[in-house]
């Protein structure tokens, strides 16, 4: 089911409702919910005029008819594209595997230079994210893993 979150300045389309919408957000999943929402005519008109492919209007006329038109326009919008995982997230996933990863494996997966990979391990992962990155010499070379912190 598509969920539409209406904020002060934009419309967010998602597959799930936000866990805790703020007071300034209105979450709707049907035309009835949009009709019942405490949105002014001015706000509804601004939503319409911000939609791609809709003719710009200066007034809404009948609120009921306009809400139905607005809901149809919402439904015609394409589904949002899923967020692409970052390279850092991919590296963290590689390091959390039981077999870990070598600098060369991370370099191949990301396209980074070896010094960039080592910098990620020591700077971003260890210092900024406080992850416990450990290295061990194995038959395939120095293997890095993220382990649980022992106290």
In order, the DSSP letters of 34-58 are HHHS---HHHHHHHHHHSTTPPP-S
Tell me what pLDDT residue 149 has: 65
Tell me what pLDDT residue 80 has: 78
Tell me what pLDDT residue 118 has: 95
Q: What sign has the CA pseudo-torsion 42, 47, 50, 56?
A: negative
Tell me what pLDDT residue 9 has: 80
- The pLDDT profile of the chain, 151 residues, written as one tens digit per residue, is 889 998 888 888 887 777 777 788 899 999 999 999 989 999 999 999 999 888 999 999 999 999 999 999 999 998 877 777 789 999 999 999 999 999 999 999 999 999 999 999 999 998 888 899 999 999 999 999 998 765 4
Do strands 141-147 and 11-14 pair parallel, antiparallel, or not at all (unpaired)? unpaired
- CB 144, CB 135: distance < 8 Å: yes
What are the chain's domains? 3-76 (no CATH), 87-147 (1.10.10)
Structure letter (DSSP) for residue 13: E
pTM: 0.55
Tell me what pLDDT residue 2 has: 87
Tell me what pLDDT residue 140 has: 92
């Amino acid at each position: 089911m598509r969920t539409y979150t209406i904020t002060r300045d934009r419309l967010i389309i998602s597959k799930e409702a936000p866990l805790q919408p703020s007071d300034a957000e209105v979450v709707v999943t049907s035309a009835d919910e949009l009709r019942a929402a405490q949105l002014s005519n001015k706000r509804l008109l601004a939503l319409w005029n911000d939609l791609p492919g809709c003719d710009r209007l200066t007034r809404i006329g009948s609120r009921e008819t306009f809400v139905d038109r607005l809901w149809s326009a919402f439904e015609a919008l394409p589904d949002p594209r899923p967020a692409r995982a970052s390279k850092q997230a991919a590296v963290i996933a590689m390091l959390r595997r039981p077999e870990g990863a070598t600098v060369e494996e991370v370099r191949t997966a990301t396209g980074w230079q070896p010094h960039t990979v080592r910098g990620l391990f020591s700077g971003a992962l260890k210092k900024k994210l406080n992850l416990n990155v450990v290295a061990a010499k194995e038959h395939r070379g120095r293997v890095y893993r993220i382990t649980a912190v022992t106290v």
